[in-house]
Structure 1
Amino acid sequence: MENPPVFSTSYFFQGNVSVQTVLAKEDPCCIRHSHEFFEIAYVCEGEGIHYIEEERFNVVQGDLFFIPVGVVHCFQPRDLTGIQPLRILNCLYKAELVGFPSNSIPSPLSQFFCQVADYHLEKKWRAYHDQSGEIVRLFQVLHTEGQTSACMSDNSLIRYGTLIHLIKILIETKDRRAILTFKKEDCPIHGIIHHMSNNCQNSMSLHEVSQSIAVSPRHFQRLFKLQTGCTYVKMLQKIRIRNICLFLKYTNLTIQSIALLVGIQDMKYFYRLFAERVGITPGTYRSRYREKNMPSEEDWELA
């Protein structure tokens, strides 16, 4: 996908809220995207692959990533059948939250807040691992605070203070991306699904995709079904629906434009496919999800 979707601040932050947590169950049909806000993503369950910029990394429980504004990435579970899920607890916060007026803060706090501002201004993503359990504790505090209605405002000093504590730990911790290795040949089907998800408007034929990993079409179909639990054609339909849902929620593109982006020229087929898989029309889906106050874990899963 030449222009990955950008997740907007307005969808994830309601009212005056500047810090939010979202629990996401990652789908095998991962779609590369970026954000208008900062994200700290913590792997709280399962194993998988993190596609970030032009690199790929294995991830396990306890890994976390600092993801600046504009960095393109996505997660994909190791298990492509959905039996062993990959869940990511995301701490999201607005970019303006780190524009601290350091000249008005007495030293040594001013020095610390300058460090925080510099950390974000570098616009460099970083990888870490929670060795002590302190990071997961902070994430639990943030998530618990965010679930209570009394904390749905910027008046939550606990949430703000917890975020600052979390950032302080990251600043003082060594970036470990160099030791997170990924070998493409170990997981060819993962790479194929990732390519399908991000290029479904120019999807490859069964013959072309089997050639890409040097196996026969028949052997590829067996391998694909074994690892995913579904056929190549069914997965392509699933990916198209996933893309449609994301574009409906996060963009103002017309429904016809979305159909073309996912490789569907026939609008009658487009509406029929969406209704069969999701149960409602694309227009109703867009309206319903934009009326919600915050996305739930279910919103991140394929309907």
Structure 2
Amino acid sequence: MKKASPMIEKGEQFFSNGLSLFVNRVSEEFILPEHEHDFIEICYVWEGSGFHYIEDRTIRVSKGDLFFLPIGISHIFRPSTRNPKDPLIIGNCIFDEKIFRFLTSVLPVEYGLYLFRQINAKTDRWIQMRESSGEFGQLFESLHMEFQQKRMGYETMLCGLLLQLLIRMERALNVEMRAADPAAEKVELVYGYIRDHLHEKLTIADIAGHVGLGERQLQRIVSSYTGLSISSLLSKERIERSRKLLSEPSCAGLTVAEIASRVGIHDLKRFHRLFKQTTNVTPGRYRQEQGASR
């Protein structure tokens, strides 16, 4: 017998007053059918135990479990028992892709949430993790309180708290990745070293020596994780940093040549070529557009 298609929940059912972010705390029952959404959802098991049916998986859950569900994932929670004395309490934080895209790229050069950006690009991938010391629960308490009380500036506060939650989740993912694959830690070290030394003349030997790898091994690991060669990764990071500098009011007095030098590109023609290849506009035009948008 063919399985029935899950119902689709739409963000417009929950979002109001122009804010595409909604937080609630619910006691799960056996009434709501399996469903999927046109929004992103973070679910936190606040109290009790039960089961989470995600796609074709059945996962036993208990207090402290957290799930990140991209758009289009079908799922449903069920309590372990129908006894109202043993409820399964779930916290839900839902938001649209626009908010998620903003929060995960608000600091795109040095502090971007790279794992979540990669996961969001793969809409069939969901994540499960578990808090270690109540850190997810504390943030859900704050999110729920702000959403319920709606005091002045609560919209900004909610976005700030959601960003904190995403960072906490990013840290948990990094720990899991390091445990499962030590090479992931090396890639993180590569990114950190490059971003700290962009203004310098970096060589593959410099980077390999810093992370404790041979040059060939470094090239292979970086390519497998990023799809880029070391030189392409350097160019990408330098152009990203230059975009940030060109859009910062505090750097308005710097010439394009000075900004190119600050990101380690001392050949102005090469800088113009790389910048236009990446952004489809010249550095000067990009600066004008950023100034007009402020």
Output the TM-score relative to the length of structure 2.
Answer: 0.53
- What is the CA deviation profile of residues 26-80 of structure 1, one whole-angstrom value per residue up to 9, with x for unaligned ones? 1134511001111111111111011000000110111111111100000000012
- Paired position in structure 1 for 2:118: 118
After superposition, the Cα gap between the structure-2 partners of 1:86 and 1:54, relative to the gap in structure 1 and judged at 3 Å, is same
Aligned length: 173
State the one-letter code of the partner of 2:132. Answer: Q
CA contact (8 A) 2:113 2:167 kept: no
Alpha-carbon spacing, 1:11–1:108, altered in 2? closer, same or farther (3 Å): same
Matches within 5 A, 1:126-205: 126-150=127-151, 156-174=155-173
Aligned partners of 1:173 and 1:102: how far apart in 2? 16
Verify the 8 A CA contact 2:146 2:154 in the aligned structure 1.
Answer: no
- 1:137 corresponds to which letter in structure 2? Q
- 1:196 is matched with none
1:263-293 Cα offsets, whole Å, 9 max, x none, are xxxxxxxxxxxxxxxxxxxxxxxxxxxxxxx
Q: What displacement does 1:6 show?
A: 0.5
The answer as to whether partners of 1:6 and 1:35 remain within 8 angstroms in 2 is yes
Residue in structure 1 matched with residue 245 of structure 2 by the alignment:
none
SS of 1:136 mapped into structure 2: helix
Distance 1:167 1:35 in 2: 19
Task: Please give the alpha-carbon distance, in whole angstroms, between the structure 2 residues aligned to 1:175 and 1:30.
Answer: 34
CA distance 1:115–1:128, shift in 2 (3 Å): closer
- Give the counterpart of 1:52 among 51, 54, 73: 54
Distance 1:47 1:102, change over 3 A: closer
Q: Which has the higher contact order (CA 8 A, sep 6+)?
A: 1
Where do residues 205-224 of structure 1 align in structure 2 (5 Å cutoff)?
Answer: none
Kindly indicate whether residue 12 of structure 2 is the aligned counterpart of residue 10 of structure 1.
Answer: yes
Q: Secondary structure at the match of 2:84?
A: coil
Instruction: Report the secondary structure of 1:156's partner residue.
Output: helix
Shift of the alpha carbon at 1:107? 3.0
Gaps of 5+ in 2: 177-294
Take 1:59 and 1:176, find their aligned partners in 2: how far apart are those partners?
21
CA distance in 1, matches of 2:69, 2:104: 23
2:54 and 2:42 map into 1 onto residues whose CA distance is 13
1:31 counterpart residue number: 33
In structure 2, C-alpha distance between the alignment counterparts of 1:149 and 1:51, rounded to whole Å:
33
Tell me: CA distance 1:30–1:175, structure 2 relative to 1, closer, same or farther (3 Å). farther
Q: Which runs of 5+ in 1 are unaligned?
A: 178-303
> Which whole-Å CA distance do the structure 1 matches of 2:104 and 2:174 have between them?
26
Instruction: Indicate conservation of the 8 Å contact 2:41/2:68, yes or no.
Output: yes
1:53–1:73: 8 Å Cα contact kept in structure 2? yes
176 and 47 in structure 1: CA distance in 2 versus 1, 3 angstrom threshold: farther
Counterpart secondary structure, 1:100: helix
SS in 1 for 2:151: helix
Measure the CA separation in 2 of the matches of 1:54 and 1:72: 9
Which whole-Å CA distance do the structure 1 matches of 2:157 and 2:135 have between them? 16
Greater mean deviation of Cα atoms: 65-74 or 96-105: 96-105
Distance across 2 between alignment mates of 1:91 and 1:68: 12
Q: Is the CA contact 1:142–1:159 (under 8 Å) kept in the aligned structure 2?
A: yes
Give yes or no for contact 2:34–2:75 (8 Å, CA) kept in 1.
Answer: yes
Which segment is superposed worse, 10-19 or 100-109?
100-109
Question: 1:99 matched to which residue of 2?
Answer: 101
* Rg larger for: 2
The answer on whether the counterparts of 2:28 and 2:78 sit within 8 Å (CA) in structure 1 is: yes
Q: CA deviation at 1:132?
A: 1.4
Shift of residue 171, structure 1, vs aligned partner: 2.0
Distance 1:114 1:63, change over 3 A: closer
Mapped contact 1:129–1:176 kept (Cα < 8 A): no
Query: Relative to structure 1, is the Cα distance of residues 58 and 81 closer, same or farther in structure 2, using a 3 angstrom cutoff?
Result: same
